[in-house]
Chains A and B, each alone.
Chain A
């Protein structure tokens, strides 16, 4: 299966069709989601209007973890099966995931001040999320730290796999230790504790963010593949001269 999709030409052909679709889904879902989040949905019984930050914050935090797992998995594929495309996908995902993490941290801080009374606290959830942000930055830096791209790719891949241990810590931090951050509201055993009228914008935003991720990923991976192609052509040119 990996071998089938690892072919860059097949990947380029497939993504040229998928790219406009993901763009449309992203724009439609985020547009509609924001309308529901900011206009249509009711205020919360405790937080009143501040609850609207949640619609931007929660899906961003989900995507932050999803992108990291994607990086770790494709890094493992790259290390074991030596597929160039897996490295490119991991590399292209990193800045997108870092942006989602930053968005989650920033919006969480904006929510924390009026609700908790503090911009930032060092509880397990917030701290592990900050570590995730630094893992993203470390990954990006390490990838580009070597003159030889393939060495950078391998070092960064190992870092991303080591860092994947942080993901279950983020997810379960609110259950394992007492934290100031509230426990899970949507992905939990007894069903969500979010009213349906508030779950609609949340899910729309989640779908929109996911589509946005794939749209940006396709743009970035295609650009990387083209850069590689140009580099190869330049090398060939200098060799023939």
Chain B
């Protein structure tokens, strides 16, 4: 009976120490684990010289309404409703790309333009049939949460 409890406390203690170690590691790598930065974070970090124009970054946010010009080089603004960044992207935009949609762009930032090499659409956690979305828009209960 005694050996059993010894093993039990050994396993319990082991899990406890491991989770403490794990959370410390995750906390230390906090900045590396995030998939993208917001336009506010990018402009702030650029001003503080924490990021350079050579560094590969990802910016995430909503496509600002009325900012999209499509062409060989697509231009649009990505906003977090606080700051916005102009993005230039040469290539095909994903199907879900539209104004107000959440997107993530990968590329470089040089204080004025974000030159993207890839644009990904971010999908939100709401799932509903099109008729329901229409009805919600009509009744004014529509809450755009895309790209939150």
Contacts and interface: CB of A to CB of B under 8 A. Distances in A.
B129 A117 contact: no
B35 A124 contact: yes
A33 B8 CA distance: 42
A184 B148 CA distance: 13
A199 to B, nearest CB: 9
State the main secondary structure of chain B at its contact with A: mixed
B38 to A, nearest CB: 8
Contacts of A46: 96, 123, 146
A195 B132 contact: yes
Nearest to A193: B126
Contacts of B127: 44, 47, 51, 54, 185, 193-195, 198
Contact of B35 (A43, A79, A177, A198): A177
B133 A178 contact: no
B69 to A, nearest CB: 20
A183 B19 CA distance: 23
Nearest to A54: B127
Contact of B129 (A76, A79, A177, A197): A197
A165 B18 contact: yes
A180 B125 contact: no
Contact of A43 (B14, B93, B104, B129): B129
B125 A182 contact: yes
Interface string A51-80: 100100000000000000000000010011
Interface of A: 42-47, 51, 54, 76, 79-81, 114-118, 121-124, 161-162, 164-165, 169, 176-180, 182-185, 193-195, 197-198
Interface of B: 4, 7-8, 11, 14-15, 18-19, 22, 26, 30, 33-36, 60, 93-96, 104, 118-134, 146, 148
